[in-house]
């Protein structure tokens, strides 16, 4: 009997133990004593890659995630751009390409954990670092600080967004293991500890006490001074060729114990218009990656796939230097999600430290050259004002900015008249550098040139008193890094003619995307008034092409280039592909995802050429090709804005 009783006790004990194991909730924690993370109680090291859902069409999310998984990654990292989801205050969008819930679901389905970086500021070479432009309605707002208006807006946004994320936390059965608070705050001038404490409390309130919250800053002690606070795990970022021991020693200054983490290990770098395409050698990337993994460090590769700044989403650096449409980043997966030598080299390094999944790697997507498409001119911007500015114009003594007229992106037209005869060339100037960012100037319907922020502040004009002066102002992307992210757009200060301040403006807020997508633009009523040698009036052009039905597997991805076009914007079937500027470089082609193309109807191509089209010379085409061109810099003397991987303390 004693033996039977003893056996029953053992059976009951086993049932209790295994019952507890079966009911223990998932957990992800920091183990300070053993310098590691623990997932469900087991020692865990993440090898991660950055992917931005906002830069990749929804239909390709799973393809890119599968390629990342098959490279040996067990985790991905993604930013959440606030302005991508709340471009208009109070209007939240989480559908289509903005459906982050679906993106997280796919990551979990593929077998990837997620590191979420919801900001509210994210940098990311994204317009205004992800902050919505409507914050600037308060002209004196101090962004990324305890400013009451900024805090109230952040609280409202996070009160909407973070509760949506709570079910996706790992301890709740989802893929999110860590959440970053703010982003590289040690690189920002405000150094507002109360702001960081408030964000920490806000995140805890909405996400709970169990989630691992962390910060990321450059690997320098100066960055940690303002970037770290108690209760948020400190991580650092640095690129290939760095002194790994020295960089992690900086992290150890803030975190004497706990896992080593490089939250942004740069596999490439960002580009600027007019600079050379950034390239980081595969050999350098894999060497430093192996050094970090050999130390047992956790690594996130920024970027693993860069993607595309579709539409107007690119950011800029200061002094003002905007980023191009492509965010290829020289990453292991190209802008189009294609496999590279760097991808396979990284995969071999990871294989040394963890098992690579079995099975085939999804191939690079096929590309198709749809060939040249003949374009014909539609209306000039001035001719189409009734269509483009359907809400009507605004009269103002002096210029108003984009946000004054509740416009965030795109273009705005400012119109005034010459107050006196300008028989001799007279300087039209922005003495306070107030053209943000480029103004295409015409007098009485004749294009005369371009004013440009930081570069061209004066242009000579002639005309009679009362002549109509138009300035079509382009917002080229807001500054996303540093102290100047309060980046107002439009004419942000007065214009002068000679010594006189110009007044009496009529301002047109332009809804270009709506007019293009609805097919409202018509043919031009007259000649375009162009000066063939230099500039023509900003004008729209349209062409169509048909994809053959008898060729299987079409449509396929493509690239479009605009030979001899100067600068502008391009749409296909109403989808805003982004900006082109081949005369500047380094980007020449724009990525065309197959998802925006049609095989059942003609495909419409619309171009807004801002400076001078090639159509007067007879070559009036755009061309679809299979090969990207991202490194055709037209100005070899141009010095890149920032050195590779350099984080400035601003």
**Residue listed under structure tokens 């039977």:** 4
Q: Annotated catalytic residue: which of 86, 125, 184, 255?
A: 184
Alpha-carbon span 282 to 330, nearest angstrom: 10
Residue 554 CA to residue 267 CA, distance in Å, equals 33
Burial of 374 (0-12, 13-18, 19+ CB in 10 A): middle
Residue ranges with strand state E in 432-574? 435-436, 438-443, 446-452, 458-463, 468-474, 490-491, 496-497, 500-501, 505-509, 539-545, 558-561, 568-572
Q: Do the beta carbons of residue 189 and residue 209 sit within 8 Å? A: no
Query: Is the bond preceding residue 303 a cis peptide, omega within 30 degrees?
Result: yes
Active-site pick, 255, 264, 452, 611: 264
C-alpha 428/C-alpha 410 separation (Å) is: 23
Q: How far apart (Å, rounded) are the C-alpha atoms in residues 507 and 411?
A: 11
The β-bridge relationship of strands 176-180 and 212-218 is parallel
Measuring CA to CA, which residue among 324, 266, 241, 335 is closest to residue 640? 324
Point out which residues pair with 451 in neighbouring strands: 439
Q: How many Å apart are CA 75 and CA 601, to the nearest integer?
A: 40
The residue with tokens 């053993």 is 34
- Tokens standing for residue 1: 């009997």
Token digits for 609?
Answer: 């050429």
CB of 542 closer than 8 Å to CB of 521: yes
C-alpha distances (whole Å) from 599 to each of 172, 323, 515 are: 43, 33, 23
* Residue 148 CB neighbours (<10 A): 11
Q: How far apart, in whole angstroms, are the C-alpha atoms of residue 228 and residue 469?
A: 52
Contacts of 329 (CB under 8 A, 6+ apart): 267, 268, 269, 270, 278, 303, 306
341 a catalytic residue: no
Q: 182 an active-site residue?
A: no
Report d(CA 459, CA 370) in Å as an integer. Answer: 41
Q: If we measure between CA atoms, which residue out of 589, 588, 592, 590 comes closest to residue 555?
A: 592
Token pair for 182 = 């703010």
Rg, C-alpha atoms of the chain: 27
Do 367 and 334 touch, CB atoms closer than 8 A?
no
Q: Which runs of E-coded beta strand occur in 1-74?
A: 28-31, 36-39, 42-44, 47-50
Rounded to whole angstroms, the Cα distance separating 611 from 530 reads 10
Residues marked active site are found at: 184, 264
């Amino acid at each position: 009997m004693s033996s039977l009783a003893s056996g029953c006790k053992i059976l009951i004990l086993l049932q209790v133990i295994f019952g507890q194991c079966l009911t223990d909730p998932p957990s992800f924690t920091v183990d300070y004593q053993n310098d590691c993370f623990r997932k469900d109680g087991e020692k865990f090291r993440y090898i991660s890659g950055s992917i931005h859902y906002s830069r990749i069409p929804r239909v390709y999310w799973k393809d890119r995630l599968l390629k990342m998984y098959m490279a040996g990654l067990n985790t991905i990292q993604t930013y959440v751009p606030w302005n991508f989801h709340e471009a208009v205050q109070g209007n939240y969008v989480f559908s289509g390409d903005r459906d982050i819930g679906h993106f997280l679901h796919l990551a979990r389905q593929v077998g990837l954990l997620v590191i979420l970086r919801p900001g509210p500021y994210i940098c990311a070479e994204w317009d205004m670092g992800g902050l919505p432009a409507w914050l600037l309605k308060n002209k004196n707002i101090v962004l990324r600080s305890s400013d009451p208006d900024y805090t109230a807006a952040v609280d409202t946004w996070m009160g909407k967004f973070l509760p949506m994320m709570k079910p996706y936390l790992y301890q709740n059965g989802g893929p999110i293991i860590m959440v970053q608070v703010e982003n590289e705050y040690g690189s920002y001038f405000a150094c507002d500890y109360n702001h960081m404490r408030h964000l920490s409390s806000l995140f805890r309130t909405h996400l709970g006490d169990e989630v691992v919250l962390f910060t990321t800053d450059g690997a320098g002690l100066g960055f940690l001074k303002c970037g770290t606070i108690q209760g948020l795990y400190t991580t650092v970022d640095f690129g290939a060729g760095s002194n790994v021991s020295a960089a992690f020693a900086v992290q150890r200054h803030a975190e004497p114990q706990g896992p080593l983490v490089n939250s942004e290990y740069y596999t490439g770098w960002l580009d600027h218009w007019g600079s050379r395409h950034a390239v980081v050698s595969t050999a350098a990337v894999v060497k430093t990656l192996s050094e970090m993994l050999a130390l047992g460090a956790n690594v996130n590769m920024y970027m693993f796939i860069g993607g595309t700044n579709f539409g107007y989403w690119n950011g800029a650096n200061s002094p003002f230097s905007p980023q191009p449409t492509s965010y290829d980043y020289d990453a292991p997966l190209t802008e189009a999600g294609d496999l590279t030598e760097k991808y396979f080299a990284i995969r071999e390094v990871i294989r040394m430290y963890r098992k690579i999944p079995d099975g085939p790697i999804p191939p690079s997507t096929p590309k198709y050259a749809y060939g040249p498409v003949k374009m014909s001119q539609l209306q000039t911007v001035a001719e189409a004002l009734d269509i483009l500015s359907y809400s009507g114009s605004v009269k103002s003594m002096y210029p108003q900015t984009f946000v004054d007229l509740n416009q965030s992106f795109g273009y705005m037209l400012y119109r005034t008249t010459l107050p006196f005869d300008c028989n001799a060339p007279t300087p039209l100037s922005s003495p306070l550098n107030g053209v943000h960012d480029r103004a295409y100037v015409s007098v009485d319907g004749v294009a005369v040139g371009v004013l440009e922020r930081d570069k061209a502040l004066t242009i000579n004009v002639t005309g009679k008193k009362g002549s109509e002066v138009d300035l079509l102002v382009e917002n080229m992307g807001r500054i996303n890094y540093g102290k100047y992210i309060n980046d107002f757009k439009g004419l942000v200060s007065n214009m002068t003619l000679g010594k006189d301040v110009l007044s009496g403006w009529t301002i047109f807020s332009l809804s270009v995307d709506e007019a293009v997508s609805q097919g409202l633009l018509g043919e031009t009523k007259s000649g375009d008034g162009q000066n063939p040698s230099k500039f023509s009036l900003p004008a729209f052009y349209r062409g169509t092409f048909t994809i053959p039905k008898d060729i299987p597997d079409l449509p396929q991805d493509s690239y479009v280039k605009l030979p001899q076009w100067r600068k502008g914007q391009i749409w296909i079937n109403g989808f805003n592909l982004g900006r082109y500027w081949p005369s500047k470089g380094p980007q020449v082609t724009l990525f065309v995802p197959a998802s925006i193309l049609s095989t059942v109807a003609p495909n419409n191509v619309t171009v807004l050429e801002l400076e001078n089209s090639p159509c007067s010379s007879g070559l009036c085409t755009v061309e679809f090709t299979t090969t990207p061109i991202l490194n055709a810099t037209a100005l070899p003397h141009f010095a890149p804005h920032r050195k590779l991987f350099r984080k400035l303390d601003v």
